[in-house]
Structure 1
Amino acid sequence: MGVLTKEVLAELKKEYHKCRSTTDVEPAQNNSESMIDQFLEQAEEDSSEYMKLLSMKASVLYEKAKMCLSKNQFGPCKEFLEKGLSIIKDRSDHPQIHFLYLRIVNYLSYVLSRTCDLDQAKNLLESIVNAELKIEPLIYSTDDLFSNNQVDQAIANSKIHKLVINNMQMLGWIYGKLGLTDQYADMVHRSLQKELDTIDGDPIQWAVRCYRLASLFLAQSKWANARYTSQLLRWCLIRWKWR
């Protein structure tokens, strides 16, 4: 019999919701983490149950970090995210882990940018933005994980596309703040192309970003790039007009 029986899942879910319902997150979260650790010791390492429990432990820290961030507590938030990342980083390519890994990197990079550690945020984002996705990750929220919910795949695909694009946009913003103009322009272009390929996002916001990129190319006297971007913008506006 596996470790994650219905009774165990119910108990873990109860502890998770307890930590979500309190403003004093420390005690409840510690209980939840300790309980998960107990079951991790019983599970076969690298089994599907082990990976799920590992995801649960990192997800608890992720949720704790989100609660800290909502209160602008950047120090504790950073600590929880770094701890969560350290738990799963060696298995970041596993389908059960990868989406959570991307989410934690996304939040941690944002926190680092808010605390002016732009170089570390840049390195983190580059490691995931430039990596080729070779797996089809399982997409889930923390609630899904603890409730064993079935996830609608259409919604799941939209979630990961938005997360990937958001990471690209954040990296572009960091390049801009660091004065890395060429890298900024390249990343903005890649994120715009990604949105276009996935037919996702707000057309008006996309058009505004595309216009700004074309303006940047003009300022840099990169005429071919500016012309291509302007033509792409015109083509997309015509297409969206008739949708």
Structure 2
Amino acid sequence: MTSIKEVFVDLHEKYNKVMKLLTEDSKLDPDNEPYLSKYSARQMLIGMKANLENLQKNHIESIERSKITGMLGAVNLYLGIVSIDVDEMSTGESYLEKCHEIIKDHLNSSELIMVTLNMYNQFGILWAQRDNEKSKTYLEKAEKLYLDYKKSAVPPVDICDLFNYSFQENNTEIAWKNLAKIHTFTLYYLAQIYGSLKDALKSSIYCHITLQRQLDSNDYDPIDWALNAATLSQFFMEKNGFKQARHHLTASSYILTKYEEELNRISERNETYDAKMEIFNHRSADVARCWVKYGLLLLIKSKERLLNHTDDIDVNCSISSDLSFLNLEDSTVTSRDLKSLKFSSLNIDHYENKITDKFILTMQDARLVFLNMQTWLHKAESYYSLDNFASDHIEIVQDKSQIYLNVAFFEDNPENQAKIHKRRIDLLENVVNNVNPKYYLQYCRQIWFELGQTYSEMLNIKSDRLKESSDRPSAHILTKINHLIERILQKQYQKKFLMILKKLSFKLVFMLVL
């Protein structure tokens, strides 16, 4: 007769095989059988479930009964996870409900706390596709349970140790780390749910907390972390939170720099190294583009702020570049939440101060932003070249042109304004002359339109100078103006150009006749 110990040893071996199938083998499954390993794991779990249910019927010691309850709950949990992963939602829900039924009297026990938290997370994932509010309820249960359990300071039992014959083998340090990791997943899922519920600010706070916890536990992929931090910065800057956006972008660049140092220490330069460097260069260029967007949006928002508040702006304008000063009436977040949007474990103040997070007021301010952006533009263009990534390259050039345009707003000298617009023209004509409109017609139309606007801006500057002068215009000036008109005519792919041109030409002819 098989002893209870032998049964437990067999269950432990099968558990390890299941984990290998789910965490390792499944990544190598062929494209035509993407769930091959997960189906194999499910069959093994079904067998384990039957064995445990048979054991549960026997009159065994209470400590073994508690252990069997934990293992049976865990097996149903994994059956639910596998079913959800292979898109069998109803089956997955049934297994999760069975898991809850088994462990409902021991939800916050040290042996079952990890099973419980994972179960609530899986319910959250399941219901995210059906009912976001219900999904949030499950995830909030997981969040509260974790915080309450942590206060108890009772060492948790890792799920893998449930399948060990003796609890004495439980590694409490690893168990605490794994418990914290489960909670990090809870916060990540809550971030997604709040986003789906249109509470973007709350979602951003949970995203930040997730990133902070990954840093604290030193459990993250540098590339993924940097991209997530940079993506979060885009949300903050669109909300005028340039202080928070700058901090997250700086953190992103800092993590990438540290990762580059790690790559440079690799002595064996093989295909694996080359692949890692390619990914690094690619994602570094993406973060550089986020920095370009930061500078551009800071200039645009500063320009709008000045145009909307022409008198005593410091008194009449309540817009702040720091989200912690946001009006939070009827909001689900607090000022304290917003003030905590900082990675306290990273010493990056020195890097942050290379560019302002305050609204631009003068040309000197704008010039400093412009100069900082040149570094990031160069980095982005170096990777996204016109030959290899034409669409991306064109978009970067368009951003560069818009930076020039918005810097020109802060320039008081008309001659300097004209020079800035001339740079835009050179930039845009260079790229549009080197792409085939047959394949990039949408981009070409956008650039033609912008070129028409830019020539019109220059024509306005020249005509304003003529109006201010009492002297008859020289032949040289008239030649320049005629050239500008000709260039506008060449860009008349949009009706708007013709309307602008007619108005400007009429004004110019009328002025010259006088």
TM-score normalized by structure 1?
Answer: 0.77
Say if 1:65 and 1:77, in contact at 8 Å, map to a contact too: yes
Q: Give the superposition deviation at 1:105.
A: 2.0
Q: 2:165 aligns with which of 148, 152, 164?
A: 148
- Asked if residue 75 in structure 1 is aligned to residue 90 in structure 2, the reply is yes
Question: How does 1:12-161 map onto structure 2 within 5 Å?
Answer: 28=47, 31-39=50-58, 42-44=60-62, 48-114=63-129, 116-130=130-144, 131-132=146-147, 133-134=150-151, 135-141=154-160, 144-148=161-165, 150=169, 156=175, 159-161=178-180
What letter corresponds to residue 70 of structure 2 in structure 1?
Answer: S
Structure 2 counterpart of 1:164: 183
1:173-203 C-alpha deviation (Å, 9 max, x unpaired): 1111121112101100100000011111101
* Alpha carbons of structure 1 residues 30 and 202: separation in structure 2 relative to 1, 3 Å: closer
Moved more, 227-236 or 6-15: 6-15
- AA at the equivalent of 2:141: S
Q: Is the 8 A contact 2:74 2:99 kept in 1?
A: yes
Give the match for residue 214 of structure 1: 233
Question: Cα distance, 1:32 vs. partner?
Answer: 3.1
Cα distance change on mapping 1:154 and 1:186 into 2, 3 Å: same
CA contact (8 A) 1:36 1:57 kept: no
Residue number among 175, 185, 188 corresponding to 2:204 in the alignment: 185
Alignment check: 8 A CA contact 1:62 1:80 kept = yes
Q: Is 1:7 the equivalent of 2:3? A: yes
Are residues 218 and 104 of structure 1, via their aligned partners in 2, closer, same or farther at CA, if it must alter by over 3 Å? Answer: same
What amino acid sits opposite 1:31 in the alignment?
A
How far apart, CA to CA, are the structure 2 residues paired with 1:138 and 1:35?
Answer: 24
Aligned match of 2:311: none
**Cα offset, 1:78, TM superposition:** 0.4
Distance 2:42 2:209 in 1: 40
Cα distance in 2 for residues equivalent to 1:213 and 1:67: 31
Structure 1 Cα separation of the partners of residues 41 and 232 of structure 2 = 45
> 1:177/1:97 Cα in 2 relative to 1: closer, same or farther (>3 Å)?
same
- Is the Cα contact below 8 Å between 1:51 and 1:97 reproduced in 2? no
* Aligned residue identity for 2:244: N
Question: Is 1:36–1:56's contact at 8 Å kept on the other side of the alignment?
Answer: no
| Contact 1:125–1:167 under 8 Å retained in 2 | yes
* Contact 2:80–2:96 under 8 Å retained in 1: yes
Structure 1 residue 228, shift from structure 2 partner: 3.1
Change (3 A) 1:227 1:52: same
Q: In structure 1, what is the equivalent of residue 34 of structure 2?
A: none
Unaligned runs of 5+ in 1: 1-5
Seen in structure 2, the aligned counterparts of structure 1 residues 74 and 29 have a Cα distance that, compared at 3 Å, is: farther
Corresponding residue for 1:201? 220
Q: Is the 8 A contact 2:73 2:103 kept in 1?
A: yes
Measure how far apart 1:242 and its partner are: 4.2
Flag the 1:146–1:7 CA change in 2: closer, same or farther, 3 A.
Answer: farther
Cα distance in structure 2, aligned partners of 1:201 and 1:27? 33
> In structure 2, how many angstroms separate the alpha carbons of the residues matched to 1:42 and 1:171?
41
CA distance 1:148–1:96, change in 2 (3 Å): same
Please say which structure displays the higher CA radius of gyration.
2
The offset of 1:168, in angstroms, is: 1.6
CA–CA distance in structure 2, aligned partners of residues 30 and 238 of structure 1: 48
Identity %: 20
CA contact (8 A) 1:175 1:181 kept: yes
Of 118-127 and 229-238, deviating more is 229-238
Distance 1:231 1:199 in 2: 18
Larger relative contact order (CA 8 Å, sep ≥ 6): 1
1:82–1:108 CA contact under 8 A, matched in 2: no
Q: Tell me whether 23-32 or 214-223 shows the greater mean CA deviation.
A: 23-32
Q: Which residue of 2 aligns with 1:226?
A: 245
Unaligned runs of 5+ in 2: 19-39, 263-514
Deviation at 1:82, TM superposition (A): 1.7
Q: 1:52 to 1:72 in 2, by over 3 A?
A: same
TM score, norm. by length of structure 2: 0.40
